[in-house]
Structure 1
Amino acid sequence: METNAQKMLKSLSPRKVILPVLVGLGAIIYLMLSDDNMDFQEVKQAFSSLNPWWVGAALIVLILRDAGYMYRIRHLTSKKLSWNSSFFVILLWEFASAVTPSVVGGTAVAVFIMNREKIVFGKALAYVMLTALLDNIFFVVASISVILLAQGDIFPPEAKSIPLLGFHLNLEQVFLISVLLIATYTVFMGWGLFLSPKTFKRFLGYLTKFSFTKRWRRSAIRSGNEMIIASREMKGHSYTYWVRATFSTLMIWSARYLMLNCLINAFTHFNLLDVSFDELYEQFLIFSRQIIMWIVMLVSPTPGSSGTAEYFFGEFFEEFLGVGIVLAVALLWRLLTYYAYLIVGISILPKWVSKVFRTRKPSVQ
């Protein structure tokens, strides 16, 4: 097994799950024990009266989201990935993202996984970059849209300030920093991928010619070369190709956010058959705040946003559930959207390794 493969598989090691699990569970336990208003009897009662139909709806939406991921990656590869290969690519990609800091993500591992599934390196790199670009465009456009529609209700009024880089910032400020970073990165990547990859490479070279940036020059040149390769693979796609890629991205993220609506409805016993305008607006706020929360979480330095996600969940959704119950729901939410992928990743990784390393070699053409 080649050195690069060993390095990639090391990043997928089951031992990697220990730190994010300890951080995430530790954050929940700490928040529960440090909250004077925490009533464990109330939490027990809330779980005992849980609406099973909404829990079932949450699971269905979760499955639809993963199916959407598989459809999108299969579509982006022009069906060169089978459904079986798409299954392994997406779930191992999710696993890689869960054990690496959100600000880093699992993109390098995703390229490696696709390459092992007989997608040539240049194409695999292009598809991963395109996926990230589509997701980031969604984040920026959707977040601006919901802020305009919510008319000032999108940020919790009682949220605590957050220490960041020596400053204490409110949620609006943290969001603004995050979305500006994402937008800048998206414009930068779009420019390199679709407009001028060679200029992109020269720009990276210019940025790393100074004495204090020379340490990153080799990595910058490699990134520039990879962008040129990826850009070449993006040419010649039809209008339908882009429409389907965009639609599937909308479906994926909408399903991800609607899953929490279903979970919260399970605890609040929201009745879809007898609903008022105010209740519909509340559902819109729950959906919208997830978009904002996700952007804030993207700059988390912890693996899979462990600790960060649990903390921000309480800040954003306490008013819908109450002080005590919100942390219990946060644990259930993370169980379905995070810990489940750690378990699935550990379960399918040996089978995938056996499949691709015994019968296949990476595509390099």
Structure 2
Amino acid sequence: MEISKKSAFKVLNPNNIWVPILLGLGIVFLLFYFDDNITADNLRLIFDAKWSSVLVAFLVLLARDAGYAYRIRTLTNQELSWKSSIMVIILWEFASAVTPSVVGGTAVAVFILTYEGINFGKSLAYVMLTAILDNLFFVVAAPIVMLLTQGVIFPAVETFDLQIGGSLQFFFFLSYGLIAIYTLVMSYGLFVKPRAFKWFLLKMTSMKWLKTWKVKANQYGDEIIIASSEIKGKVAQYWIKISLATIFIWCARYLMLNSLVSAYTEITIPEHMVIFSRQVIMWIVMLISPTPGSSGTAEFFFNQFFNEYLGSYTFVSSIFWRLMSYYPYLLLGAIFLPRWVRSKFFKK
């Protein structure tokens, strides 16, 4: 896979990067502007936080990012140094923050890994494997948390007045079904029959109304075959390490919010379990968000899921949550991406 310096810089030009950032911030601003509950008094509630809990949330966030760096380094069989692993995660998280959740930053991640010295086939395999592992976590975790928190995992509120249901349950099952199908198909293509998967894609795009996608299908089929050949023969220890790292990463992500909620209200162990479980459901719903980094969507669903625990502190808690889980990656990406581009494409 050869990408010219000119085309690479065009894609990663800092002037272009600010477009999705400003779009995301604009969506959040409009959401807050039209919310009658947002007042100066409500904003001052942010200082009522128990700062020890906020500190715990910050430490958990750092642990999560360390887990990401460990996983990508383990995935690549230590081909990446720790410094490169951290840089890849920063840029990957930035790409995810400026693209819709339904799209994600996977294409950019392949590009980044390739220019960190890993060949295209391996880069593609690692990124696809990461996506499968993350989606598999949701597919497995969702039924478990639903069983553990029967009757209380979905808040008793309607999100939209739609004839087809319009409830959080509807959006959850829609998103869960799409993720499960995607994960099943990708796993089959990557681990079982990559050539059969390509044959299926070509047959599907041979239909009259899908012919315009045939070239893309052929290219995607070839990529699956390349990626599949790169991950064959991995030992059991390899799979155990990256699987445990994936579980750690997502648990740390969710425990961060548990810490923030406990900064504003006293919650029991069972309530901690419900809050943790609801995050699994909320993230699955958010995965079909069309906005950059789920801007607007995340804030809306946060209110639906956690208002009963936080009450008047819901708004300030959502600010804290996004300040720690979303906006730092916009800032870090805006700082480090231009430097990374210059180091990779404009060396003297």
Using structure 2 for the length normalisation, give the TM-score: 0.93
Q: How many residues align?
A: 347
Q: 1:146-185 maps to which residues of 2 (within 5 A)? A: 146-161=145-160, 167=164, 169-185=166-182
**Within the alignment, does 1:239 sit opposite 2:236 as a pair?**
yes
1:270-289 equivalence runs, <5 A? 279-289=268-278
CA gap 1:259/1:356 in 2 versus in 1, 3 angstroms? same
> Which residue matches 1:219?
216
Aligned residue in 2 for 1:60: 59
Shift, 1:160, TM fit:
2.3
* Aligned equivalent of 1:303: 292
**SS at 2:56's partner residue?**
helix
The CA distance in 1 between the partners of 2:28 and 2:346, in whole Å, is 42
How far did 1:301 drift? 1.1
**1:5–1:184 distance in 2 versus 1, CA, 3 Å:** farther
Provide the C-alpha distance between the structure 1 equivalents of 2:16 and 2:274, rounded to a whole number of angstroms: 35
Structure 2: which amino acid aligns with 1:248? Answer: A
1:312 is aligned to 301
Shift of 1:264: 1.1
Query: Secondary structure of 2:234's match?
Result: coil
Deviations 1:244-267 (A, max 9, x none): 010000000001111111111112
Take 1:317 and 1:337, find their aligned partners in 2: how far apart are those partners? 17
Q: Report the counterpart of residue 276 of structure 1 in structure 2.
A: none
The residue aligned with 2:47 is: 48
Moved over 6 A (4+): none
The 8 Å contact of residues 20 and 306 in structure 1, kept in 2 or not, is answered as no
Relative to the length of structure 1, the TM-score reads 0.89
Q: Which secondary structure does the structure 2 equivalent of 1:268 belong to?
A: coil
Q: Secondary structure at the match of 2:208?
A: coil
Asked whether the 8 Å contact 1:23–1:307 carries over to 2, the reply is no
Query: What is the letter of the counterpart of residue 177 of structure 1?
Result: L
RMSD: 2.1
Matched-pair contact (CA < 8 Å) for 2:175–2:285? yes
Q: For the Cα contact (< 8 Å) 1:51–1:269, is it kept in 2?
A: no
2:41 aligned partner, one-letter code: Q
- Cα 1:157–1:229 change in 2 (3 A) is same
For residue 319 of structure 1, report the CA deviation from its aligned partner. Answer: 0.8
Aligned to 1:96: 95
**Alignment equivalent of 1:345, drawn from 333, 339, 343:** 333
Q: 1:189 aligns with which of 186, 211, 221?
A: 186
Alignment partners' CA distance in 2, 1:183 and 1:5? 38
Determine the C-alpha separation between the residues in 1 that align with 2:254 and 2:16: 26
Residues 103 and 298 in structure 1, CA contact (< 8 A), matched pair in contact too: yes
Q: Deviations over 1:66-123 (max 9, x none)?
A: 1100000000111001111111111101111111111111111111100101101100
**What secondary structure is seen at the aligned counterpart in 2 of 1:112?**
helix
Identity of aligned residues (%): 50
Q: Which residue identity lines up with residue 281 of structure 2 in the other structure?
A: I
2:207 maps to which residue? 210
